[in-house]
């Protein structure tokens, strides 16, 4: 029995274990056409066109029979039938990989559960050994080949769906990222990768996939992402696991108010409410609270409509709104059939009759705008089968056994959709201005409804004009008024019920412009013994949001933007704002001192900030300084914009210790740009510009960074800031090495004298010497650096110095010393928070391991280094590790998969201006092209690599050897 393969290079196994080689091109073509149509008749004209695409010979019929005869001679048991309809190759389902593939796919589609389906799909995908009929080009089959490749991709996506359903997202991210590289416009793949990353706790990476997809679609096709990927994006933004939208309710008419047609979003909240109220256990009670304007009543009505089928005996809707509870009960009893004279006078008696009327009935009771827990208790049914849904501004914490749901703002996508439904298609046309309106409305449904209504009744009002008005905080609440809807009056109802201490706290918190506040800052700001009671009252009134403890164990509080604007309209209050600011500056100073300083810029010299907080509180907050910065990061970035230039620069320097350590370059960039825009002081501006140049450097924008470094260095020297000038010059030297200007880099570092961190200088000096082929000198520099580092006892410095010594040791031929040093470097750096240095050492461990033949260790190190670099947004290092992994794919027989990845790396390296990196990438690409049988492309790539090669560059030579070793068969 013969076995055939078309899902990859054409393969024939006959008998088992013996692979038949078909040397004739037309024999292979004939067999390929018959196999792709196995079990079906293929007309002779189709075969002739495949065999002779230009012009068939006159004897084509006899030639065709000859080729078939030779195939039968070469392949034992080949069964080809010939009749009037044409030729038919007969194979059993298990004899052809294409049939095995389709059979396994069918099994997966019939499977009863996701896990079983995924196993069948994986079995199907395992049949593929590469592109269909790789190495055999038959124009007549192009459409069939393309269809099969599309079929394979669709099956892969079905498999991913099944595995995501089965909860196996952790195993999919790498595979999906590789597929996205091959198919950057495939929206279903992008949505699946977003879900997998989100479930793995990598929400930022998930959102970045959407950003890249959207940019690619707009730039290449001029279209926005489709509905499904937008839905996944919206769910990730909300921090939810993406779920299908629930169908709209289609229940009969009831006593509820009408469900509004333009209701938008709240899918998760609806699911939670309907799940609780429809559980059928006891008498479920759900309390829906939230800040003014959050859409509590609208959501309650929609949830009640959805639950109508579960409560066939009726749905009662009770607008409380400060009404007398006795009157409410009387109205309810009359609605339930109790005649007027039979309604008791006593409120408790009325409540008892109400409960009696609901006995053994299935009724949903909706209590809207409740203010008093006692009123709610009077309206609770007494027997199972009923349920109660309450909306309230206060949280009604006194209600025992209630399921509580606090309603916040809409997501960005939901808010934009609501505005679109209200104002029409121009929202999509003026998307940027629509986003400004959404932000100014704080994504609250009431504010968005007002803004949308104003746009609807004034069709010629530009979205940009309304956005300009709303962005003026002084007049924003005035603008958010239309007809009988007003945000200010909605907030005022909640504010009027506050006691004087809570009103004072409300005003103080409204004038604090930070994103959210830790508990210590709230009590310090209020500065009164009863501060905790005032805060609890604001939380209960839904005017202040209480959040769970942050990583330092401190509870946090947030006041939403429109509520804050209303609070700020009140009379000024004396409070502890200056104390909070002083404490924050001192905490940032102390936290930075407890973290390793990895940012290659000098710390400003200044007097210690005085700390007004008790020492015990400070110690608790800063027990884990990394987590304190994580909790306060957004606040500190925002605070920088409200300080003077000198204070802002000092605070930003402390914050940068954390931001640079974790690769939060976007925050650093925004903060330094804020300082730059707010100062006329040139020395301060030069320091800000030098840090911005450093961020360009980290992102691989070498030419821009080098130019900015030079300008800053000149200005700092002119101002007499020799210390910062030296640091900037050292950074410039590192940047020049990336640009391939080793001589200039060496001259720069050897001219430095004022630098107080000689490790940075020695690192640049060694790298420049290696690029110039002066390997022995470089190793001596690294040896001295290592000795100095060991003298400090600092694991981070020692690990960094070991990295340099390991690399120069390898280049001098001392492989044993190199391997020992880089292993120790990685072990030491794993125990520190210096993830960037660890990524660098892991990458070098990969190169040394590859050069010494430890292939598995090399690829593992490159993968870990790549993932770290990606988390830190260090694009050059991520690309170099990706290139190395692509080189390893060539050795594993996956050169076709490596080519698009290498071409993408090549484009970015060329844009960065990295001459050596570009040349090495061309070299690996030439090996990949050679492996897939493209000699012309391989030759062209090798020529490009040769042009960029520097014969003096010992580092590049060592990397070249390591990369080429990875391309060899595994």
| Torsion on CA atoms 260, 264, 265, 267, rounded to nearest 10 | 30
Task: Please tell me the predicted confidence (pLDDT) of residue 340.
Answer: 64
Q: Three-state SS across 184-209?
A: CCCHHHHHHHHHHHHHCCCHHHHHHH
Of 187-201, 438-452, 922-936, where does mean pLDDT reach its minimum? 438-452
Beta strand 285-290 with 387-392 is parallel
What's the predicted TM-score (pTM) here? 0.58
Q: Quick one: pLDDT band at residue 485, thresholds 50, 70, 90?
A: confident
Q: What is the pLDDT of residue 247?
A: 32
Report the candidate in 801, 761, 770 with the shortest Cα–Cα distance to residue 785: 801
Instruction: List pLDDT tens digits, range 587-611.
Output: 999 999 999 888 888 888 888 888 9
Q: How far apart are CA 605 and CA 650, in angstroms?
A: 9
Could you report the per-residue pLDDT of 374-416, keeping only the tens digit for each?
888 888 888 888 889 998 877 887 788 888 888 888 888 888 8
Q: How far apart are CA 191 and CA 168, in angstroms?
A: 16
Where is 3: in which H helix or E strand? strand 3-5
pLDDT digits (tens, 9 = 90+) for 166-186: 777 777 888 899 889 888 888
Backbone phi, psi, residue 289, to 5°: -120, 175
CA 740 to CA 948: how far, in whole Å? 10
Percent of all residues in the chain with a pLDDT value above 70, rounded to a whole number = 97
Q: What is the pLDDT of residues 119-174, one digit of tens each?
A: 889 999 999 999 988 888 888 888 888 899 989 999 999 898 888 877 777 778 88
**Beta carbons of 552 and 495 less than 8 angstroms apart:** no
Residues paired with residue 285 on neighbouring β-strands, in sequence order: 388
Please give the structure tokens belonging to residue 556.
Answer: 């946090």
Strand 3-5 and strand 11-13: the pairing is antiparallel
Q: What is the DSSP letter of 19?
A: B
Confidence of residue 700 (pLDDT cuts 50, 70, 90): confident
> pLDDT digit string (tens) for 793-806?
989 889 999 999 99
pLDDT for 450 equals 84
DSSP one-letter string for 71-89 = HHHHSTT--EEEETTEEEE
Q: How far, CA to CA in Å, does 697 sit from each of 259, 694, 702?
A: 55, 5, 6
Q: How far apart are CA 269 and CA 275, in angstroms?
A: 10
pLDDT above 90 covers a percentage of the chain that reads 19
Alpha carbon distance 488, 481 (integer Å): 8
Least confident range of 43-52, 340-349, 632-641, 704-713: 340-349
Q: Measuring CA to CA, which residue among 401, 397, 437, 395 is closest to residue 418?
A: 437
Q: Measured between alpha carbons, how far is 797 from 758 in angstroms, rounded to an integer?
A: 11
What CA dihedral angle connects 806, 807, 808 and 813, to 10 degrees?
A: 90
Which SS3 state, helix, strand or coil, does residue 716 take? helix
Mean pLDDT calculated for residue range 479-505: 78
Residues in the chain: 970
pLDDT at residue 252 is higher than 50 = no
What value does the mean pLDDT of the chain take? 85
Distance from C-alpha of 854 to C-alpha of 847, rounded to nearest angstrom: 10
Q: Which range is least confidently modeled, 22-31, 90-99, 107-116, 286-295? A: 107-116
- pLDDT value at residue 495: 75
Average pLDDT over residues 784-792: 89
Cβ-count burial 687-701 (b if 16+ within 10 Å, e if not): bbbbbbbbbbbbbbb
- The arithmetic mean of pLDDT across residues 879-900, rounded, is 93
- pLDDT beyond 50 at 99: yes
Helix axes 500-510, 519-526, angle to 10 degrees: 110
Cβ 395 vs Cβ 287: under 8 Å: yes
Supply 888's token pair. Answer: 């390893």
Tokens representing residue 821 in the block: 């040093």
Confidence of residue 250 (pLDDT cuts 50, 70, 90): very low
Give the model's pLDDT for residue 923: 93
> Is the distance from CB of 80 to CB of 87 less than 8 angstroms?
yes
For the CA atoms of the chain, what is the radius of gyration?
35
Token pair recorded at residue 368: 């809207």
Collapsed DSSP state (helix, strand, coil) of residue 402? coil
Q: How confident is the model at residue 758 (pLDDT cuts 50, 70, 90)?
A: low
Tokens representing 534 are 């005032």
Nearest to 716 by CA among 753, 685, 737: 685
For 557-585, the three-class secondary structure string (H helix, E strand, C coil) is EECCHHHHHHHHCCCCCCCCHHHHHHHHH
Rounded Cα distance between 405 and 415, Å, is 20
Q: What are the distances in angstroms from CA 341 to CA 334, 345, 970? A: 10, 10, 94
Q: How far is CA 573 from CA 507, 528, 581, in A?
A: 7, 12, 17
Q: CA angle, corner 28, sides to 23 and 34, nearest 5?
A: 155
């Amino acid at each position: 029995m013969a076995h055939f393969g078309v899902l990859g290079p054409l393969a024939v196994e006959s008998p088992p274990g013996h692979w038949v080689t078909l040397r004739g091109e037309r024999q292979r073509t004939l067999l390929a056409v018959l196999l792709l149509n196995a079990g079906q008749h293929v007309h002779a004209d189709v075969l002739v066109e495949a065999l002779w695409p230009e012009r068939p010979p006159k004897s084509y019929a006899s030639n065709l029979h000859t080729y078939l005869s030779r195939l039968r001679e070469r392949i034992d048991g080949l069964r080809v039938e010939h009749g009037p309809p044409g030729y038919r190759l007969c194979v059993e389902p298990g004899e052809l990989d294409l049939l095995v593939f389709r059979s396994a796919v069918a099994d997966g589609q019939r499977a009863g559960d996701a896990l079983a389906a995924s196993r069948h799909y994986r079995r199907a995908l395992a049949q593929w050994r590469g592109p269909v009929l790789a190495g055999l080009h038959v124009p007549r089959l192009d459409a069939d080949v393309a269809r099969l490749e599309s079929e394979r991709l669709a099956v892969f996506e079905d498999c991913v769906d099944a595995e995501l359903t089965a909860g196996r997202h952790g195993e999919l991210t790498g595979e999906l990222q590789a597929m996205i590289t091959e198919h950057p416009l495939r929206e279903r793949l992008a949505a699946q990768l977003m879900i997998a990353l989100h479930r793995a706790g990598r929400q930022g990476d998930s959102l970045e996939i959407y950003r890249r997809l959207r940019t690619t679609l707009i730039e290449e096709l001029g279209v926005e992402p489709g509905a499904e990927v937008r839905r996944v994006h919206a769910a990730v933004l909300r921090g939810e696991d993406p779920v299908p939208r629930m169908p709209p309710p289609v229940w009969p008419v009831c006593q509820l108010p009408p469900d509004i047609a333009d209701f938008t979003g709240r899918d998760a909240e609806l699911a939670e409410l309907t799940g609780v109220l429809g559980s059928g256990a006891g008498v479920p009670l759900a309390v829906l609270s939230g800040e003014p304007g959050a859409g509590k009543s609208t959501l309650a009505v929609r949830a009640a409509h959805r639950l109508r089928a579960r409560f066939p005996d009726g749905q009662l809707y009770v607008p409380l709104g400060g009404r007398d509870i006795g009157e409410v009960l009387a109205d309810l009893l009359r609605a339930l059939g109790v005649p007027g004279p039979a309604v008791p006078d006593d409120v408790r008696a009325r409540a008892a009759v109400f409960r009696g009327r609901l006995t053994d009935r299935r009724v949903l009771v909706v209590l809207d705008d409740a203010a008093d827990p006692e009123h709610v208790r009077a309206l609770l049914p007494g027997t199972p089968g009923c349920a109660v849904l309450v909306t309230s501004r206060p949280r009604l914490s006194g209600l025992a056994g209630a399921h509580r749901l606090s309603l916040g703002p809409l997501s960005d996508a939901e808010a934009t959709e609501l505005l679109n439904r209200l104002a029409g298609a121009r929202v999509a046309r003026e998307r940027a201005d629509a986003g400004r309106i959404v932000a100014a409305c704080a994504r609250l449904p009431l504010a968005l409804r007002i803004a949308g209504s104003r746009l609807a009744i004034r069709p010629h009002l530009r979205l940009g004009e309304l956005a300009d008005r709303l962005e003026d905080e002084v007049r924003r609440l005035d603008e958010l008024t239309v007809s009988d809807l007003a945000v200010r009056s909605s907030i005022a109802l909640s504010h009027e019920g506050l006691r004087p201490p809570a009103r004072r706290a409300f005003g103080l918190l409204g004038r604090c412009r930070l994103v959210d506040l830790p508990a210590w800052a709230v009590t310090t700001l209020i500065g009164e013994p009863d501060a905790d009671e005032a805060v609890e009252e604001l939380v209960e009134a839904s005017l202040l949001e209480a959040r769970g403890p942050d990583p330092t164990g401190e509870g946090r509080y947030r006041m939403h933007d429109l509520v804050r604007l209303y609070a700020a309209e009140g009379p000024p209050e004396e409070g502890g704002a200056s104390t909070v600011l002083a404490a924050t500056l001192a905490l940032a100073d102390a936290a930075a001192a407890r973290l390793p300083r990895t940012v290659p810029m000098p710390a400003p010299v200044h007097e210690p900030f005085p700390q007004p907080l008790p020492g015990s509180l400070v110690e608790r907050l800063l027990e884990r300084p990394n987590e304190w910065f994580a909790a306060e990061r957004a606040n500190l970035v925002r605070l920088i914009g409200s300080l003077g230039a000198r204070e802002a620069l000092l605070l930003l320097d402390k914050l940068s210790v954390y931001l640079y350590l974790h690769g939060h370059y976007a925050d650093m960039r925004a903060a330094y740009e804020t300082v730059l825009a707010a100062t006329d002081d040139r020395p301060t501006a030069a320091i800000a510009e030098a840090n911005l140049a450093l961020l360009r450097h980290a992102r691989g924008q070498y030419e821009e960074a080098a130019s900015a470094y030079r300008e800053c260095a000149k200005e700092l020297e002119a101002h007499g800031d020799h210390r910062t000038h030296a640091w900037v010059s050292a950074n410039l030297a590192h940047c020049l090495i990336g640009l391939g200007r080793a001589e200039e880099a060496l001259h720069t570092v050897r001219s430095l004298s004022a630098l107080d961190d000689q490790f940075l200088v020695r690192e640049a000096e060694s790298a420049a010497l290696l690029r110039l082929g002066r390997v022995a000198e470089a190793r001596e520099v690294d040896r001295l650096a290592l000795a100095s580092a060991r003298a400090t006892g600092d694991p981070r410095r020692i690990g960094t110095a070991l990295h340099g010594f390991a690399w120069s040791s390898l280049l001098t031929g001392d492989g044993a010393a190199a391997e020992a040093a880089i292993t120790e470097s990685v072990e030491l750096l794993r125990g520190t928070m210096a993830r960037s240095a660890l990524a660098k050492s892991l990458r070098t461990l990969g190169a040394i391991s590859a050069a010494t033949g430890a292939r598995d260790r090399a690829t593992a190190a490159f993968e870990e280094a790549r993932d770290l670099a990606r988390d830190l947004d260090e694009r050059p290092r991520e690309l170099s590790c990706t290139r190395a992994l692509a080189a390893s794919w060539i050795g594993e027989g996956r050169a076709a998969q490596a080519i698009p990845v290498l071409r993408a790396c090549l484009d970015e390296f060329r844009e960065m201006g990295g001459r050596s990196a570009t040349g090495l990438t061309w070299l690996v690409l030439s090996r990949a092209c050679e492996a897939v049988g493209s000699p012309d492309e391989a030759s062209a790539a090798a020529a490009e690599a040769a042009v960029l090669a520097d014969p003096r560059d010992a580092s590049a030579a060592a990397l070249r050897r390591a990369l080429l070793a990875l391309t060899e068969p595994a």
